[in-house]
Each structure stands twice: as structure tokens, then as C-alpha cells.
Amino acid sequence: MDIFDSMHVSGHKIGLERTNPRHLSGKLPQNQPEDSSTTGFSQAMVKALNGANALQQESTSLTQAMLTDPESVDSHDVTIAMAKANMAVTMTKSVVDGAIRAYKEIISLR
């Protein structure tokens, strides 16, 4: 019973074929031009911080509009905007605290 063809076997080396396009090819990836869909960690962090900032500014503007012209803004919209901003700031603070804690642990390794 021959499982491998003699053309694919040489000593203890067996040539493997890529049968599925999702399998790794065994070749190092070539330098491909970076497209806009791939982002680095720093870009993702900046995007997240800008999102939290935008939610906070939206909450502030709705609160100011509620104080100056109560009929123009629904109180539920103000409450929802404040809750979103609070959640975004809390999550941002926890991520920053975790990053600082990890940095301190790396620095204090002996």
C-alpha cells in the first residue's frame, strides 16, 4: 500500500501540498502594500479615544441644549447620551489603568 508517490518522497522529507486556500503555504509573506482596512494598535487606540471624546462632547452639547432650551431636546435623549458617555469614559479609564499596570509590571521585572 503506497500512500505517497515516490516523486513526493525523498529520504525522510515529504513534500506537502496545499489543498485548502486557508492553509499556510510555508512561505514567508511578501511585503504587501498596507491597505486602509488594516490598522495598527496605536491607530485603534486613537480611534477609540476619539469615539469616547465624541460621546462626551455630544452629552455635553445635549445637556447645554436642555438647560438653554428645554423644549428642543427630549430628556430621555440627554439621559441616554450621558449613560453612553459615562460608559465610554469608564471603559477608557479601565483600559488605560490596565496598560499602566502592565507597563509597571514589565519595568519592575527582576
- pLDDT (tens digit per residue) in 44-98: 888 989 999 999 999 999 999 999 998 999 999 999 999 999 999 999 999 999 9
Nearest 5°: phi and psi at 79? -65, -45
Contact 15, 8 (CB under 8 A): yes
Q: What residue segments make up the domains of the chain, in order of their start?
A: 39-110
Looking up cell 514589565 gives 106
> 104 is written with which cell numbers?
509597571
Query: Among candidates 83, 79, 80, 85, which has minimal Cα distance to 55?
Result: 85
Residue 72 to residue 66: CA distance in whole angstroms: 7
Say what the pTM is. 0.58
DSSP state of 72: G
